[in-house]
Amino acid sequence: MLAPGLVTLRFHNPKVARETIAGQFVNVLPKAGAIDPMLRRPFSVYNTDGDEAEIIIQAHGRGTNILADTAEGEMLDVLGPLGNPWNYKSGDFKTAVLVIGGVGVASMLLLTRALVKEGLPVQSYYGARTKDLLALQDLTNLHVATDDGSEGFHGSVINMLRKDLEARKIEQPKLFVCGPTGMMRAAAVLAAEYGIPCEVSLETEMACGIGICQGCPVPTDDTTFQKTGKRFRLVCMDGPSFSAETITI
Amino acid sequence: MLAPGLVTLRFHNPKVARETIAGQFVNVLPKAGAIDPMLRRPFSVYNTDGDEAEIIIQAHGRGTNILADTAEGEMLDVLGPLGNPWNYKSGDFKTAVLVIGGVGVASMLLLTRALVKEGLPVQSYYGARTKDLLALQDLTNLHVATDDGSEGFHGSVINMLRKDLEARKIEQPKLFVCGPTGMMRAAAVLAAEYGIPCEVSLETEMACGIGICQGCPVPTDDTTFQKTGKRFRLVCMDGPSFSAETITI
Amino acid sequence: MNGVESNGQAKADMRVRLRGVEFKNPVLVASGTFGYGAEAKKYCDIEQLAGIVTKSVSWKPRPGNPPHRIIETASGMLNSIGLANVGVHTFVSEKLPYLAKFDTKIIANIAASSMEEYRDVLEHIEQHATPNLVGYEINISCPNVKDGGLSFGTNVERTEELTTLLRASTDRLLIIKLTPNVTSVAPFAQACERAGADAISLINTLVGMSIDIYTHEPRLNTVTGGLSGPAIKPIALAQVYQARKACGIPIIGIGGIVSAEDTVEFLIAGACMVQIGTANFVHPDAGIRVARGLAEFLQKQNISAVGDLVNSLRIRAELKAAGW
Amino acid sequence: MNGVESNGQAKADMRVRLRGVEFKNPVLVASGTFGYGAEAKKYCDIEQLAGIVTKSVSWKPRPGNPPHRIIETASGMLNSIGLANVGVHTFVSEKLPYLAKFDTKIIANIAASSMEEYRDVLEHIEQHATPNLVGYEINISCPNVKDGGLSFGTNVERTEELTTLLRASTDRLLIIKLTPNVTSVAPFAQACERAGADAISLINTLVGMSIDIYTHEPRLNTVTGGLSGPAIKPIALAQVYQARKACGIPIIGIGGIVSAEDTVEFLIAGACMVQIGTANFVHPDAGIRVARGLAEFLQKQNISAVGDLVNSLRIRAELKAAGW
Ligand SMILES: Cc1cc2nc3c(=O)[nH]c(=O)nc-3n(C[C@H](O)[C@H](O)[C@H](O)COP(=O)(O)OP(=O)(O)OC[C@H]3O[C@@H](n4cnc5c(N)ncnc54)[C@H](O)[C@@H]3O)c2cc1C
Ligand SMILES: Cc1cc2nc3c(=O)[nH]c(=O)nc-3n(C[C@H](O)[C@H](O)[C@H](O)COP(=O)(O)OP(=O)(O)OC[C@H]3O[C@@H](n4cnc5c(N)ncnc54)[C@H](O)[C@@H]3O)c2cc1C
Ligand SMILES: Cc1cc2nc3c(=O)[nH]c(=O)nc-3n(C[C@H](O)[C@H](O)[C@H](O)COP(=O)(O)O)c2cc1C
Ligand SMILES: Cc1cc2nc3c(=O)[nH]c(=O)nc-3n(C[C@H](O)[C@H](O)[C@H](O)COP(=O)(O)O)c2cc1C
Ligand code: FES
Ligand code: FES
C-alpha cells in the first residue's frame, strides 16, 4: 500500500506495459461480465515493468471499490494505452516542475523517468491533506506540503511553489500538474502570472475512453475557440493533458 | 463438494439454524449492496448444526454463480426461515418415500432426520442423469436410478418407484417429492393412480419470499378452487410444499 | 418535539404535511410491494414508516394473472401480478381493522375498470374508514391488466373526470397515481390539480417485456409487464421534475428508490414524499432504512427540516435562459 | 456461400435483406456510439459488422453540450451529448470517403430542427453518396437538444409529413428512428409505413435525470438526458413488439443489447436487425462479439437462417384470446 486509501493493481498486459508513454491511461472494467456498474473507469498508467503494468486506485465509489477489492489472480479487463502522453518534449523549459495533488501522483512516476531520460532536471511539488496520505516513493527532488502542517510546508502546494517561483529558485520551469480541479486551476493561474508553460492532466467522466461517445468534453478558452473554431476538446482523445492556456478548467 | 456443480455454503445464523423445520427455505441475496442482480434467491435449508446452517447451490445463472463463488469469511445476507415445513405429521402413512431429482436432494436431509425422530421408516428414491451427479450422503434406504444406467436402476426414478409400488414392496407410503417439474408431475400422477398421499415441493420465481409481492402463484386444481374460491396459492407463503392433489403443477 | 442529539446537533425535523395530514417522515411504502402489512411486520417495524399504501383493491376480489408473474431484469424486475387482491369487502372487514392497530398512516390504493367502480370502492371504504386511514391513492396506471385503469391514465380528459368524481366522494387525501407511459406527464399533473386532487404520485411501472429465447414465448404470461427497480430511477426522477414544473400540488415520488440518497434526489426534484417499492422485496425494512438514512443525511448536512430539501433543484441561470 | 463446419453442421445463413440491400448479418452499430468508424477501428474489425449507423449529422457543425455529458446509472447511463457533430459538409468530404474504404454498409443518421434542414442534409449527402452508403436513418427522437427533432418524434402528423418529404428525395433506404417517449409507438410506426419508409428503428433513449445531492444541481448540464443501456432493454423489447403488431415494414431493434441472447429476444419480438449502442463503450468490438455469438446460437439451435427467428414469438392461444 502506498498510502491509506490507495491500492496498487499490477497486471500482465504486454501491450499496455510496452507501449504506454508517460501520461497515457487505461480504461478498466470494474467487473467483467457485470452490467452494473457497466462502464469502464479510467486510470493513469502508474508504472510499467516488462510485460506488467500498474495502476493506483483511490477507492471512493462503486467501481473503484470493486477494483480495490480485486483478488490476486483475478482477470482484469483493460483497454489501453489511451490518450496522449505528457508533452515533455515541448522544448520550452529547462526544469520540469511536477505539481501533484492526491492520487495525481499516479501519473508522475513514468513522467519522472521520461524526463530523466531526456536529461531534464525534475522538481516535485506534492501536496496532501495530511502526512499519512502522501505516497512518496519514486518522486525526485521532493517538496512536500500538507494542509495540516504535519509534514513539510504548512499550506497548499501552490503557495509553496509560488514562493519558490518568487525566489527565482527554478530555472525556466514548465509545470506538469495533476490533482484536484481546484489545484489545477490555481496552478494554471500561477503559471499565467509568471508566464511559464503549464500542462494539466484532466479528469472527466468517460464512457468509452477512445473517442466514440463524445462524453468527455473540456471547453476551450476563447482565444483557442476563435483560432480553431472548436468549442470543446475531448479529454480522452485530445488529452488527458492540455496546455493550460488553451482550455477552461 | 457433494457432486459436480453443487456447492455447499455454511453460514452462521442462529435464527435459521435453530428455528428451521424440514422443508423450509431461506432467501439469499447474491451480493449485498449490489443492485444487479437485485433479487434474493430461494434455497432449501439443507442442514442445521448448532448456530450454523447450510444450503446447497446448483450454480447455473447470474445469482447462483455469484453465490457459488462466495469466499470463506464473506457475509451472506439471509432471510428466513421461510415457508412451511414438509407435512410429515399428516398421520396418513406408515412409510415415508422420498422422491428426489437433482438438487431437490437439498431438502431431504432435514426431512429424513425429522421422520426418523418421529419413528417413521424412510425409503429414498433418487434419480440423476448420471452417477457422478448424485449427492448421496445422508440418505436412508437409498434406491438410485440413473438415466444412463451408470448406477442403480437404468431409467427414471419414477419408473423405479412404480415397480416397487406395483410389487407392493412399500407399506402405506406417502411420497415427498422434490425435483424438476416434470418429475414432480409424474410423481403426482403415480400417486393418484395408486391413491397414495403425495406432497411436492415447488420452485417458482420469487421476488420477496415472504408474501408481499404475489409473484409466486401456483394454480389450484379445479376441486380445490371450487371448495376454497382460490385460483392460486403462493409458493412462498402457502408452500413451498403442497399436497399434489390440490394444485396444478 | 425535535430532539437534540448527545453531540449537540439538533435532530432534523422529518415531518411532512399533506393538506391537514401530518406524516412522521416522508417515506411511505408503495402499493403492491408491502401486502397489507401483516406479512412484512415480522421484518419491519411498521410504526417507523410514515405510512403504508395498500395493495390496489377493486370491487370484487381478483385472483391475479397466472404464472409467471415476475422476471428479474438488469437492475430491475418485470411484474405482471394482475392486481391480485382480496376485494373491497374483505379489505374493509379484515385488512383495514388489522392496519388500524399500528401507529402509522394508511392510504388505500384503488384500481378499477370504470368510473363507477372507482367511486363505489372509494365510497365503500369511506363508510368503513378506520382512524388511521388518511386517504386514497387512485391507480390509473397499472400496465398489466387489460382493464386496469391505464385507459384512464393515458387520457387527460378521463383523468380529470375521474378525479372530479372521486373528489366529490371524500374529504380525505385524494392522490392520483400517474403512469410514466405517456408522451408528457405535465397535462396529467395539471388535470389532477384542476380537478381538486390533493397530490399526485408517480411513477407506476413502465411497460416492458422479456422473451424466453428457447421456447420463443414471452416470459410473463401477459406478454408485457411493468418494469420497476433501480433501472427506472432516472426516468422517474425526470417525470417528477417535469410534473413539478407543470403543477402546484404536492408530488409523491416513486421509482427505483433503494437508499436515502435516492430519496434526496426525488425531494430536490420536487417531491415532498416518496414511496419505496421493489426495494421492499430485497429488504422488507427498506422503508425504515431509508427513513433513518435520510435523518442522518439531514443532520450531517445541517439541514434542519426535510422540507428544506423539497424542490430545491438549482439550475444555473444560463441553462434556464436556454430553456432547460 | 454458407460454409459447412468441420463438425458437419451447416453454418446458419446470417444474411438479412432490407428492400434491395443485403447485409452480412443483422448486427449494426448505433448512431452516436461508434463515432465515424476511425476511432473504433483499432479495437473492432469493422468489416465484420453488418454496417455502421453514423453519428447524427446536421447541416452546420454542432459543438454539443457543455460538460457533464454522461452519468452512469443503474445498469445504464444518461447522456446529453447534444448531437455534437462535424456538420454535413465535413461529413461528405471526410467521413463518408473514409468509411467507403470498408467492406460494410453505411447508414447516415440525420438530425435537424426543421423539415427543410432534414431535406437539405439528406439531399446534400445524396449528391456526395459513396458506394457503400445504403441509406438514411432519420433521428426524430433525440431527447437532449432543444431542437433535436423530438418535436417531430412525438407528433404523428409531423412524422408522416417528414417521412413523405424525405421519401421523395432518395431511393436509398429510408429508416425512421422512433422515440420511446410516447404513449404508444403504434401510430408512429403506421405513419412511417404510410409515408413510404423502408423501415423503422427503435428505441432511442428515454428521458431521464440525475441530481447531485450535495450541490442540488442536475448532474447533466441539460437537466435531463437520454437513458440507455441494459436497464432499458425490457422497454425497448416491448416497443418493438408493439410496433411489430402495428405495422408491416421491417423493424430494427435497439436498446440495451449487450449479447447474442439479447439480440435473439429482439428478433423473436419482430425486429429483423438490431443496433448495438452503449455496449460499444464497454467493448468497442461488442457488435462483432454479438454477431459471432448469434451465429453460434443459430448453429447450436439448428436454425438454418437468422430470418427464421424474426417475428417468431409464440403467444399461447388463451392469451391471444384474452387480448394480449
Ligand atoms: C485520464 C484519467 C486518469 C485517472 N487516473 C486515476 C488514477 O490513476 N487513480 C485514480 O484513483 N483515479 C484516477 N482517475 C479518476 C478515476 O477514473 C475515478 O476515480 C473513477 O472513475 C471513479 O469511479 P467510481 O466507480 O469509484 O466512482 P462513481 O462515482 O461510482 O462513478 C460513477 C461514474 O462517474 C465517473 N467518475 C466518477 N469520478 C470520476 C473522476 N474523478 N474522474 C473521472 N470519472 C469519474 C466514473 O468513471 C463512472 O462513470 C482518473 C481519471 C481520468 C479521466
Ligand atoms: C423454495 C425453493 C427452494 C429451492 N431450493 C434450492 C436449493 O436448495 N438449491 C438450489 O440450487 N436451488 C434451489 N432452488 C432454485 C433456486 O432458487 C434457483 O436455481 C435460483 O433462484 C436461480 O437463480 P440464478 O440467479 O442462478 O438464475 P437466473 O436465471 O439468473 O435467475 C433469474 C431469476 O429467476 C429466478 N429463478 C431462476 N430459476 C429458478 C428456479 N429454478 N426456481 C426459482 N426461481 C428461479 C431467480 O430467483 C431470479 O429471480 C429453490 C427454489 C425454490 C423456490
Ligand atoms: C410486484 C409489484 C406489484 C405492484 N402492484 C401495484 C398495485 O397493486 N397498485 C399500484 O398502484 N402499483 C403497484 N405497483 C407499482 C409500485 O407501487 C411502484 O409504483 C413501482 O413499482 C415503481 O416503484 P419501484 O421502482 O420502487 O418499485 C407494483 C409494483 C410491483 C413491483
Ligand atoms: C452517448 C450516446 C450518443 C448518442 N447519439 C445519438 C445520435 O447522435 N443519434 C441518434 O439517433 N441516436 C443517438 N444515441 C442513441 C443510440 O443510438 C441508441 O438509440 C440508444 O443509446 C439505445 O441503445 P443502447 O441502449 O444500446 O445504447 C446516442 C446514445 C448514446 C448513449
Ligand atoms: S470518453 Fe468517450 S469520447 Fe471521450
Ligand atoms: S415470492 Fe413474493 S409473494 Fe411469494
Pick from C36, C39, C73 the residue to mutate for testing the B interface (most B CBs within 10 Å): C39
Q: Which atom of ligand 3 is nearest to the CA of C233?
A: 25
CATH number of the domain where residue C45 is located: 3.20.20.70
Backbone angle region of D82, left / alpha / beta, with phi > 0 → left and psi within -120 to 50 → alpha: left
| B6-82 matches B95-203 in fold | no
Which residues of D are catalytic, by number? 142
Residue D152 region by backbone torsions, left for phi larger than 0, else alpha for psi between -120 and 50, else beta: alpha
pLDDT above 90 coverage of chain B, percent: 88
Residue B133: per-residue pLDDT: 65
Q: Does A32 contact B at CB distance below 8 Å?
A: no
What is the rounded CA–CA span in Å between residue D51 and residue D45? 11
Of ligand 5's atoms, which has the minimum distance to the CA of residue A206? 1
Q: Please tell me the number of the ligand nearest to residue D281's CA.
A: 5
Instruction: State CA A53 to chain mean position distance.
Output: 16
Contact A244, A191 (CB under 8 A): yes
Facing residues of C209 across strands?
A: C224
Which atom of ligand 3 is closest in space to residue C79's alpha carbon? 1
Q: Whose CA is nearest to atom 10 of ligand 4?
A: D31
Question: Which pLDDT belongs to residue D142?
Answer: 74
Q: Annotated catalytic, C142?
A: yes
Any bridge partners for residue C321, and if so which? Answer: none
Atom of ligand 6 nearest to the CA of B208: 2
* pLDDT tens for the 324 residues of chain D, in order: 344 454 556 789 999 999 999 999 999 999 999 999 999 999 999 999 999 999 999 999 999 999 999 999 999 999 999 999 999 999 999 999 999 999 999 999 999 999 999 999 999 999 999 999 999 999 998 766 665 567 789 999 999 999 999 999 999 999 999 999 999 999 999 999 999 999 999 999 999 999 999 999 999 999 999 999 999 999 999 999 999 999 999 999 999 999 999 999 999 999 999 999 999 999 999 999 999 999 999 999 999 999 999 999 999 876 666 655
Task: Name the residue facing D211 among C154, C221, C268 (closest C-beta).
Answer: C268
C 159-198 residues inside an 8 A Cβ radius of D: 181-184
CA–centroid distance, residue B21 to ligand 4 (Å):
53
Is D72 within a domain?
no
Whether residue D81 and residue A213 make contact (CB cut-off 8 A), yes or no, is yes
Query: What's the CATH fold of domain A6-82?
Result: Elongation Factor Tu (Ef-tu); domain 3 (2.40.30)
**Cβ <8 Å between A34 and B36:** yes
Q: Which residues in chain D have Cβ-Cβ distances shorter than 8 Å to C230?
A: 74-75, 231
Question: In chain C, which residues touch B (CB < 8 A)?
Answer: 32-35, 39-40, 42-43, 55, 63-64, 66-72, 74-77, 79, 81, 84, 229-230, 258, 278, 280-282, 284
Which SS3 state, helix, strand or coil, does residue D108 take?
strand
Task: Answer yes or no: is the C-beta of D79 below 6 A from any ligand 4 atom.
Answer: yes
pLDDT < 70 regions, chain C: 1-9, 143-149, 318-324
Structure confidence at residue C145 (pLDDT):
64
**For ligand 6, mutation pick of B41, B205, B214 (most atoms within 8 Å of CB):** B214
Which amino acid is it at D213?
I
* Amino acid in position D104: T
Give the count of beta carbons closer than 10 Å to the beta carbon of residue A75.
Answer: 10
Are C280 and B214 an interchain contact pair (Cβ–Cβ within 8 Å)?
A: no
Indicate which atom in ligand 5 lies nearest the CA of residue A236: 4
Domains in chain C, number: 1
Nearest to A212 among D35, D64, D77 (CB): D35
User: Which residues of C are less than 8 Å from A35 in CB distance?
Assistant: 74-75
> Using one digit for the tens of pLDDT, what is the confidence trace for C21-46?
999 999 999 999 999 999 999 999 99
Instruction: Tell me whether A36 touches chain B (CB under 8 Å).
Output: yes
Burial class, C198, CB count within 10 angstroms (exposed 0-12 / middle 13-18 / buried 19+): buried
E strands in D49-181? 51-53, 70-73, 76-79, 105-110, 133-139, 173-177
Of the bound ligands, which one is closest to the alpha carbon of residue C275? Answer: 3
User: How many angstroms away from the CA of B35 is the closest CA of chain C?
Assistant: 5
Check CB contact of C114 with chain D, cutoff 8 Å.
Answer: no
Q: Are A149 and A127 in contact (CB under 8 A)?
A: no
User: B4: pLDDT confidence band, cut at 50, 70 and 90?
Assistant: confident
Query: How many Å lie between the centroid of ligand 5 and the Cα of residue C57?
Result: 49
Question: CA of B45, closest CA in chain A: separation in Å?
Answer: 28
Note the ligand closest to the C-alpha atom of D231: 4
**C88 falls within a domain:** yes
Q: Which residue's CA is minimally distant from atom 37 of ligand 1? A: A205
User: Is C306 a member of any domain?
Assistant: yes
Give the number of the ligand closest to the Cα of residue A107: 1
pLDDT at B124 exceeding the cut of 90: yes
- Give pLDDT, residue B132: 72
Domain spans of chain A, in order of start: 6-82, 95-203
Predicted confidence (pLDDT) per residue in A144-188, tens digit = 999 998 989 999 999 999 999 999 999 999 999 999 999 999 999
Residue of C nearest to A37 (CA): C75
| Residue C128 lies inside a defined structural domain of this protein | yes
Cell 432534523 belongs to: C12
Tell me if ipTM is over 0.95: yes
Are A206 and D70 in contact (CB < 8 Å)?
A: yes
How many angstroms from the chain centroid is the CA of residue D68? 24
Identify whether C40 is part of a domain. yes
- By alpha-carbon position, which residue is closest to atom 28 of ligand 4? D32
Residues of chain C in contact with residue B78, where contact means CB-CB under 8 angstroms, are none
- CB-ligand 5 contact for A213 (6 Å cutoff): yes
Q: Is residue C220 part of a domain?
A: no
Distance from CA of A35 to the nearest CA of B (A): 7
- Strands B78-82 vs B52-58: parallel, antiparallel or unpaired: unpaired
Q: Is the Cβ–Cβ distance between D43 and A210 less than 8 Å?
A: yes
CA of B60 to the centre of ligand 2 (A): 9
Q: Give the pLDDT confidence score for residue A131 in this predicted structure.
A: 76
pLDDT reported for residue C323: 59
Measured over the CA atoms of residue D244, residue D247, residue D249 and residue D252, the dihedral's sign is: negative
Residue A45 near residue A25 (C-beta atoms within 8 A): yes
The ranges of chain A with pLDDT < 50 are: 1
- Using a cut of 0.95, tell me whether the model's pTM lies above it: yes
Q: Is the CB of C179 under 6 A from ligand 3?
A: no
State the pLDDT at residue A138: 75
CA of D207 to the centre of ligand 5 (A): 21
CA nearest neighbour of D235 among D275, D276, D205 = D205
Question: Residue B116 is inside which H or E element, if any?
Answer: helix B109-117
Q: Chain D contacts of B35, Cβ < 8 Å? A: 74-75
- B171 close to B198: Cβ distance less than 8 angstroms: no
CATH 3.65.10.10 fits B95-203, yes or no: no
DSSP B132-152: GG---TT-SSEEEEETTSSSS
CB C82 within 8 A of CB C145: yes
Q: Which residues of C touch B232 (CB under 8 A)?
A: 63-64, 66, 84
Q: What is the predicted pLDDT for the residue at C317? A: 74
Considering Cα of D252, then D73, then A184, then A182, what sign does the dihedral take?
Answer: positive
Strand order in the sheet with A198-201: A153-154, A142-146, A122-128, A95-101, A173-178, A198-201, A241-243
Residues B226-241, mean pLDDT to the nearest whole number:
95
In this complex, is the C-beta atom of B75 within 8 Å of any C-beta atom belonging to chain A?
A: no
Q: CA C214, C215, C221, C223 torsion: positive or negative?
A: positive
Instruction: Please give the Cα distance from B6 to B2 (Å, whole number).
Output: 6
C230: closest chain A residue by CA? A36
Which residues partner with D132 through β-bridges?
none
Our answer on whether the CB atom of A213 is closer than 6 Å to any ligand 4 atom is yes
- The reply to whether D71 falls in a domain is no
What pLDDT, in 10s, does the model give residues B153-212? Answer: 999 999 999 999 999 999 999 999 999 999 999 999 999 999 999 999 999 999 999 999
**How many residue pairs from chains C and D have C-beta atoms closer than 8 A?**
155
H-only helix segments in A118-156: none
* Residues spanned by the domain of D129: 16-64+81-208+226-321
Closest CA to D149 of D178, D175, D173: D178
> Per-residue pLDDT averaged across B128-144, rounded?
79
- What lies within 8 Å, CB to CB, of A35 at 6+ separation is B36, C74, C75, D75, D229, D230, D258
Choosing among C72, C219, C221, C285, which should be mutated to test the B contact, i.e. which has the most B CBs within 10 A? Answer: C72
Q: Assess if residue C71 is contained within a domain.
A: no
CA dihedral C150, C153, C157, C163 (to 10 degrees): 110
What's the gap in Å between the CA of B29 and the closest CA on chain C?
8
Q: Does ligand 2 come within 6 angstroms of the Cβ of B199?
A: no
Protein residue whose Cα sits closest to atom 4 of ligand 4: D32
Q: Which ligand is nearest to the CA of A23?
A: 1
Percentage of chain C beyond pLDDT 90 is 90
- Is there a contact between B230 and C77 if contact means CB atoms under 8 Å apart? no
Please enumerate residues of D whose Cβ is less than 8 A from a Cβ of B.
74-75
N- to C-terminal Cα distance for chain D? 41
Percent of chain A surpassing pLDDT 70? 97
Taking the CA of residue D35 as reference, the ligand 5 atom at the shortest distance is 3
